Amino acid sequence: MPTPVLRIAVPSPLYRSFDYLPPPGCDPTRLKPGMRLRLPFGRSRTVGILLELSQTPQVEHHKLKAALELLDDEPLLPAELMGLLRLVSDYYHHPIGETLATALPVLLRQGSAAAAGHRALWRITAAGKEVDSDILARLAKRQADLLQRLRASRNGLTADQLSGLPRNWVDAMATLVKKGWAEAKQIPALEFGRAEPESAPDLNEAQAQTVERIGHCLGLFSPLLLDGVTGSGKTEVYLRAITAVLAAGRQALVLVPEITLTPQLVGRFKRRFSTPMVVLHSGLNDRERLNAWLLARSGEAAIVIGTRSAVFTPMQSPGIIIVDEEHDSSFKQQSGLRYSARDLAVVRARRLDIPVILGSATPSLESLLNVAQGRYQHLTLPQRAGSAKPPHIDLMDVRHQPMEDQLSAPLLRLMQQHLDQDNQVLLFLNLRGFSPTLICHECGWVAHCRRCDTHMTLHLKKRQLRCHHCGSQRPVTQQCPDCGSPDLRPLGSGTERIETALAQHLPGIGVSRIDRDSTQRKGSLEALLEEINRGGKRILIGTQMLAKGHHFPDVTLVGVLDGDQGLFGVDFRASERMAQLIIQVAGRAGRADKPGHVVIQTHHPDNPMLQLLCREGYHAYAQAAMDERHLTALPPYSHMALLRAEAAQSLQPENFLHQAEQLAQQLGSAGVELYGPMPAVMERRAGKYRYQLLLQAERRADLHRLLTPWTPQLNGLPEARKVRWSLDVDPVDLI
Ligand code: ADP
Ligand code: ZN
Ligand code: ZN
């Protein structure tokens, strides 16, 4: 048999695979799709993944180069995941090599061995158990403490568990090991739950029914929308579903938005399950990420919890996928391979024949349409678990009201009432910093970002102007650069300004601000949340960081400071997002004996959408929004792709998109409308001019029939070299 040709995916922007000969001396029968090879590529080297073996090379045989080295003994990616990623590459029209690379931990992409690291577990030895109290009394205190702790632990202790001890426990441990009283064992770097998991609460009726229905779906592809108001016990339902999956000897994959992957959530899983699990969060280093990935692949980790990219985690025997807060836009990757982890969770579950639960109190219109069309089962939890009541939501008309710093007089009065009753108040404003604009009162000069078409945000405490779009910052000017006047005034309010204003309006009451600025240091968010729940601070002001995951039982009043924010958004999804945020924030408040009250400050109290949301709730709002999308043929009633291009000169992206548009017409774009080229809403960002071409089709198939031949040819267009372009299939952000 002639030597086969290796068809290999190489990380490169080219829409093709590359052919190589097997590495010298390598038995071709060892080669299997999903293995990595080190390759010569251009003038350098790279790591590629074998797609298949072929007898017919894409180039003449004598031009083929040999691969340098086979890096794996077994396929790195199981066939299931290879299949999924090929689909992903086709669907998002993204080069196969880059698609596969996106799914791999960095170290594997670079060619590191696929070997899991270990960590030490210290245990007591038989001799250690027998150390009598006399000897113990004469030991150095640190050694004695350590010995006692080792004796008390059933399974031994890891460095994590010992980290609460004084710093030099390591020396003390070394002494114990030398004396033969303790021993170290290398174990996989897994997170362990409690040895004795806490018992689960009794389910209420709606939960019990839901869990039963999920039970019937195990081992079958079943997309389930778990539509339950905040606090209705969705997490409890996930925990039960996972219990059933684990009992069947299979693994669970849980995807959550970045912001909700907090120690609290992980803690809840660890308290319930003694099973080993891995948590894939952004704080992991490359080695830890690789370990977690390998432990999921080997099946040693029974539960995998992670953000967006965890959807690509290989698993030995996956039994269920759960996507919590499925409406959250952080499930969509906004650079490179622009995938939706929520959508891919469903695709992967279908290929695996397992259930997938999409949970939310405010489901996306996409998922609600899937329910309406019978593609997803609808599981509902209409009431809060336990006896907590849903909050009451009111619009607060702020027209003609005295209003300073976004705080209207009636809102301040209401706050005072709630504070007088020893309760807490939460204020929501999705804008951090002191003020979004700094203006000269003499001449009208405004502090602009030099690299973007936008204002700089004033951060008063840091005495800085910062651009929230490109990250530029500079010190606050004391005088207007145009007219020299010192009369520079902040216009509009961010969370920092509200925090300052509250100290004047309601002196003596502790205020806690929660936004990206106040929570930069690791652990600071947890510390703030803890202080709030202890009652140390009685007013909370925060951005959307406050909207998710947390529960504040003593908060009885929630104030949405700018309810008009979603009304004038340029994106057609702006109002849907605002509605979701309002309901999510509202859900943070209240408990059985202290029902919550939510007020939304607005200049448009007659707005029908706002009224619907407040009077009849999210689902009534969603139905109306859906009807509107239907009438205007917007997603989910149509399908979009956005071709973006940017360059340092404004003409280039526009020209490139014109050429792309002409190419589409040549290829035939039946069933697809093309809009543009048009400038992006923020035309210049980080020094680049940005343009876009929007493609829209009523039928998904029409859109993809065009994208399939079109996208690979875009790099060949004359202007392509002068721009950076990207294609976004099913964009969630049109700006
Ligand atoms: P969600 O995920 O829908 O916001 P959670 O699962 O976090 O809801 O539940 C909200 C609160 O109610 C939690 O404190 C949880 O412990 C409690 N809870 C959930 N289910 C029950 C139940 N069946 N009985 C008593 N308390 C419950
Ligand atoms: Zn001026
Ligand atoms: Zn900028």
Which atom of ligand 1 lies closest to the CA of 207?
Answer: 23
> Which residues sit with their C-beta closer than 6 Å to ligand 1?
201-204, 207, 228, 230-236, 385-386
Separation between Cα atoms, residue 258 and residue 519, nearest integer Å? 14
Q: How far apart are CA 434 and CA 460, in angstroms?
A: 6
- Judge whether residue 156 has pLDDT over 90: no
Ligand closest to the CA atom of residue 231 = 1
Q: Are 465 and 452 in contact (CB under 8 A)?
A: no
pLDDT at 390 over 90: no
Residue 227 confidence (pLDDT) above 90: yes
CATH class belonging to 5-109: alpha beta
Q: What is the pLDDT of residue 107?
A: 93
DSSP-assigned states of every residue in 680-713 = EEEEEETTEEEEEEEEEESSHHHHHHHHHHHHHH
Mean pLDDT of 681-706: 95
Going from the Cα of 489 to the center of ligand 2, the distance in angstroms, rounded, reads: 11
φ, ψ dihedrals at 503, nearest 5°? -65, -30
CA-229 nearest atom, ligand 1: 3
| CATH class of the domain at 392-434+493-629 | alpha beta
- Rounded to an integer, the average pLDDT of 137-143 is 84
Cα–Cα distance between 367 and 616 in angstroms, integer?
20
pLDDT at 149: 85
State residue 47 phi and psi, 5-degree precision.
Answer: -115, 125
536, two tokens? 């140390």
The answer, yes or no, to whether residue 661 has pLDDT greater than 80, is: yes
Closest residue by CA, ligand 1 atom 27: 385
Q: Provide the mean pLDDT of the chain.
A: 90
CB atoms < 10 A from the CB of 520, how many? Answer: 9
The protein residue with its alpha carbon nearest to ligand 1, atom 9, reads 233
Please give the average per-residue pLDDT across 344-351, as a whole number. Answer: 98
* Residue 243 pLDDT: 95
pLDDT digits (tens, 9 = 90+) for 38-79: 999 989 999 999 999 988 877 777 788 999 999 999 999 999
Cross-strand bridge partners of residue 694: 642, 675
The pLDDT assigned to 632 comes to 93
Q: Ligand 1 mean position to 371 CA, how many Å?
A: 24
Interacting residues of 132 by C-beta distance below 8 A, sequence separation 6+ = none
For position 173, what pLDDT does the model report? 85
Residues 609/563, Cβ–Cβ less than 8 Å: no
Query: Hey, which of 274-278, 513-517, 538-542, 725-729 has the most confident mean pLDDT?
Result: 725-729
Topology (CATH level 3) of domain 205-381: Rossmann fold (3.40.50)
Supply the DSSP symbol for 716.
T
CA dist 31 and 33 (Å) reads: 7
Q: Which ligand is nearest to the CA of 477?
A: 2
Q: Give the mean pLDDT of 197-224.
A: 92
What confidence category does residue 104 fall into, taking pLDDT thresholds of 50, 70 and 90?
very high
**Given a cut of 90, is residue 144 above it in pLDDT?**
no
Give nearest CA residue, ligand 1 atom 14: 231
> Other CB atoms closer than 10 Å to residue 155's CB: what's the count?
12
Instruction: Give me the residues paired with residue 589 across strands.
Output: 552
Provide mean pLDDT across the span 375-385.
Answer: 91
Nearest to 230 by CA among 558, 642, 669, 562: 558
Counting from 1 in the atom list of ligand 1, the atom nearest the Cα of 388 is 12
| pLDDT at site 561 | 94
For 175, the token pair is 């002494």
Contact between residue 652 and residue 641 where contact means Cβ atoms under 8 Å apart: no
CA 692 to ligand 1 centroid distance, Å:
45
Mutate which of 202, 207, 232, 236 for ligand 1 pocket (most atoms within 8 A of beta carbon): 236
Instruction: Take atom 15 of ligand 1 and give the residue whose Cα is closest.
Output: 233
- Measured in angstroms, how far is the CA atom of residue 513 from the centroid of ligand 1? 26
Q: How far is the CA of 236 from the centre of ligand 1 (A)?
A: 6
Out of 235, 243, 360, mutate this one to test ligand 1's pocket (max ligand atoms within 8 Å of CB): namely 235
pLDDT attached to residue 169: 78
For the domain covering 639-729, report its CATH number: 3.30.70.360
Ligand located closest to 381 CA: 1
* Cα–ligand 1 centroid distance for 279 (angstroms): 22
Mean pLDDT value across residues 682-696? 95
Q: Which atom of ligand 1 is nearest to the CA of 235?
A: 6
pLDDT of residue 211: 97
**DSSP tag of 446:** B
Q: Specify the residue with its C-alpha closest to ligand 1, atom 19.
A: 233
CA–centroid distance, 501 to ligand 3, in Å, is 27
Task: Look at residue 264 in the predicted model and tell me its pLDDT.
Answer: 76
Query: Is pLDDT of 397 > 90?
Result: yes
Q: What mean pLDDT is predicted for residues 703-719? A: 95
Distance CA(691)–CA(360), nearest Å, equals: 34
Distances in Å between the alpha carbon of 216 and those of 224, 507, 705? 12, 57, 38
How far is ligand 2, taken at its centre, from the CA of residue 269, in Å? 57
What's the 453 CA to ligand 3 centre distance in angstroms? 7
Query: How far away, in angstroms, is 210 Cα from ligand 1 center?
Result: 14
Token output for 565: 């924010």
Amino acid 214: pLDDT = 96
Q: Are 585 and 619 in contact, with CB atoms under 8 Å apart? A: no
Residue 592 has what pLDDT?
A: 63
- Cα-atom radius of gyration of the chain, to the nearest Å? 29
The ligand placed nearest to the CA atom of residue 439 is 2
Q: Which ligand is nearest to the CA of 449?
A: 3
- Residue of minimum CA distance from atom 21 in ligand 1: 385
**Which ligand 1 atom sits nearest the alpha carbon of residue 228?**
3
Ligand 2 centroid – CA 481 distance (Å)? 7
Q: Whose CA is nearest to atom 11 of ligand 1?
A: 231
Q: Please name the residue whose Cα sits nearest to atom 6 of ligand 1.
A: 233
Which listed ligand is nearest to 486 at the C-alpha?
2
Ligand 1: atom nearest CA of 587 is: 4
Whether the pLDDT of residue 486 is over 90: the answer is yes
Q: Using the atom order of ligand 1, give the atom closest to the CA of residue 236.
A: 6
> What confidence score (pLDDT) does residue 89 get?
96
Percent of the chain with pLDDT over 90: 65
Q: Which residue's C-alpha comes closest to atom 25 of ligand 1?
A: 386
**Mean pLDDT value of segment 699-721:** 95
Tell me which of 17-31, 452-466, 591-605 is least confident.
591-605
Which atom number of ligand 1 is nearest to the Cα of residue 203?
23
pLDDT of residue 146: 85
Please state the atom number of ligand 1 nearest to the C-alpha of residue 238. 6
Residue scoring higher pLDDT (510 or 192): 510
Ligand 3 centre to CA of 430 (Å) is 19
Nearest ligand for residue 687 CA: 3
**Highest mean pLDDT, choosing among 2-11, 213-222, 252-261, 586-595:** 213-222
pLDDT at 689 over 90: yes
Which atom of ligand 1 is nearest to 202's Cα? 23
By the 10 Å C-beta count (0-12 exposed, 13-18 middle, 19+ buried), 721 is classed as exposed
Ligand nearest to the CA of residue 474, numbered in listed order: 3
pLDDT tens figures, 162-180: 766 666 778 888 888 898 9
Confidence tier at 385 by pLDDT (50, 70, 90)? confident
pLDDT exceeds 70 at position 654:
yes
- As a whole number, mean pLDDT of residues 516-538 equals 84
Take atom 23 of ligand 1 and give the residue whose Cα is closest.
Answer: 203
In what order do the strands lie in the sheet containing 511-514?
392-397, 597-602, 555-560, 424-428, 539-542, 511-514
pLDDT band at 546 (very low <50, low <70, confident <90, very high): confident
CA of 384 to the centre of ligand 1 (A): 8
What is the reported pLDDT for 135? Answer: 83
Q: Given pLDDT bands bounded at 50, 70 and 90, which one contains residue 252? A: very high
Q: Which of 392, 363, 365 is nearest to 379 (CA)?
A: 363
Report residue 547 CA to chain centroid gap: 14
User: Ligand 3 center to residue 448 CA distance, Å?
Assistant: 8
Instruction: Note the pLDDT of residue 522.
Output: 76
Which range is least confidently modeled, 165-169, 394-398, 539-543? 165-169
- Higher per-residue confidence, 185 vs 691: 691
Question: Looking at the predicted structure, is the pLDDT value of residue 402 above 90?
Answer: no
Condensed to tens digits (0 to 9), the pLDDT of residues 313-329 reads 999 999 999 999 999 99
User: How sure is the predictor about 193, in pLDDT bands with cuts at 50, 70 and 90?
Assistant: low
**From the CA of 468, how far away is ligand 3's center (Å)?**
7
Any alpha helices (H) in 423-547, and if so which ranges? 495-505, 524-533
- Most confident range, picked from 196-210, 277-291, 599-613: 599-613
